[in-house]
Amino acid sequence: MSDNYGNIMKEGLWEQNVVFAQLLAMCPTMAVTTSGTNGLGMGLATTAVLVVSNILVSMIRHTVSSQVRIPVFVVLIATLVTVVDMAMNAWLHELYKVLGLFIALIVVNCAILGRAEAFAVKNGVGASAVDGLAMGLGFTGALTFIGLIREFLGSGTLFAQASNLLGPSFAFLEMKLPGYGGALLMILPPGGFAILGFLLAGKRVMERRLDERKAEKAQLAAA
């Protein structure tokens, strides 16, 4: 495992992207990416939980024995999400009314336990925090991207209701394609699977092209 923060960022955002590379967290990915705003909201809330859970897991990694680590982490994450849920309900009530539906869904996000297991339990607090942030932002990016595509094809809008989430100053993000009713299929689960499939295929093709180009360059250099 790399201690280089730049590498950790790159891994989280692209190479080991939660959605596009690890194919984790498919439940929230399919469920909330019906619009760009929903994807963004879910992604940001997950990022916050992921950073804190990674830090906590990293802090207790020497105390917890490997035999009981899973139940300990599950209790930890569930507690964390519940506390975040209550705190937001109490002090950020307006935002909670928008995001409230998503918060509880974070508990079932296997990416959080996944990062605890795969990274935080083996690495220091700083690196774990960066990993949580990188993975969270990669997740946010993926969810927002899928959400935008599905929203655009499905209802002909972009970032609809973004001002509910981010405040009225972000109303400029909201766009509507006039005269397009939308293809409902894209909003429904099959559309989600189809879009994800195309994106995964696209990422593979892109990576293979990059590899080929690298190999060509290496050949040229060798010759």
Partner 1 sequence: MNFESFREKIGYQPVLLGVFALLASGALALASSATGEAIAAAEAKDLRDSLSEVLPQGMADNDFLKDTVELEKNGNAVTIYRARKDGVVKAALFKVVERGYAADIQVLMAVDADGRTLGVRVLKHAETPGLGDKIEVKKDAWIKGFDGKSLGDPAPEKWAVKKDSGIFDQFAGATITPRAVVKAVKGGLEFFAAHKAEITG
Does residue 78 touch partner 1 according to CB under 8 A?
A: yes
Does residue 40 touch partner 1 according to CB under 8 A?
A: no
Does residue 27 touch partner 1 according to CB under 8 A?
A: no
Residue-wise DSSP of 28-79 = HHHHHTTSHHHHHHHHHHHHHHHHHHHHHHHHTTTTS-GGGHHHHHHHHHHH
Nearest 5 degrees, angle CA 106-CA 110-CA 113? Answer: 95
Instruction: Output the smallest distance, CB 91 to partner 1, in A.
Output: 6
Does residue 126 touch partner 1 according to CB under 8 A?
A: no
Does residue 175 touch partner 1 according to CB under 8 A?
A: no
Measure the CA–CA gap between 9 and 4, rounded to whole angstroms.
9
Does residue 35 touch partner 1 according to CB under 8 A?
A: yes
Does residue 34 touch partner 1 according to CB under 8 A?
A: yes
Strand partners, 175: 158
Instruction: Output the smallest distance, CB 222 to partner 1, in A.
Output: 49
Member of 6, 93, 172, 214 binding partner 1 (CB under 8 A): 93
Distances (CA, A) of 82 to 16, 73, 120, 223: 28, 14, 21, 61
> Residue 23 CB: number of other CB atoms within 10 A?
12
Does residue 83 touch partner 1 according to CB under 8 A?
A: yes
Instruction: Output the smallest distance, CB 28 to partner 1, in A.
Output: 11
Per the CB < 8 A criterion, the answer to whether 8 and 120 are in contact is no
Does residue 162 touch partner 1 according to CB under 8 A?
A: no
Instruction: Output the smallest distance, CB 89 to partner 1, in A.
Output: 5
Token couple for 208: 């293979």
Report how far Cα 65 is from the mean position of its chain's Cα atoms: 29
Q: Return the number of the residue (114 or 182) whose C-beta is nearest partner 1.
A: 182
Member of 79, 207, 208, 216 binding partner 1 (CB under 8 A): 79
- Give residue for tokens 């009713």: 181
Dihedral over Cα of 27, 29, 32, 34: its sign: negative
Dihedral over Cα of 33, 57, 14, 25: its sign: negative
Does residue 86 touch partner 1 according to CB under 8 A?
A: yes
**Of the ranges 16-24, 89-97, 106-114, 201-209, which one interacts with partner 1 (CB under 8 A)?**
89-97
The residues that touch partner 1, with contacts defined as CB under 8 A, are: 31-32, 34-35, 38, 62-65, 67-68, 71-72, 75-76, 78-79, 82-83, 86-87, 89-91, 93, 97, 101-102, 151, 161, 164, 182, 184, 187-188
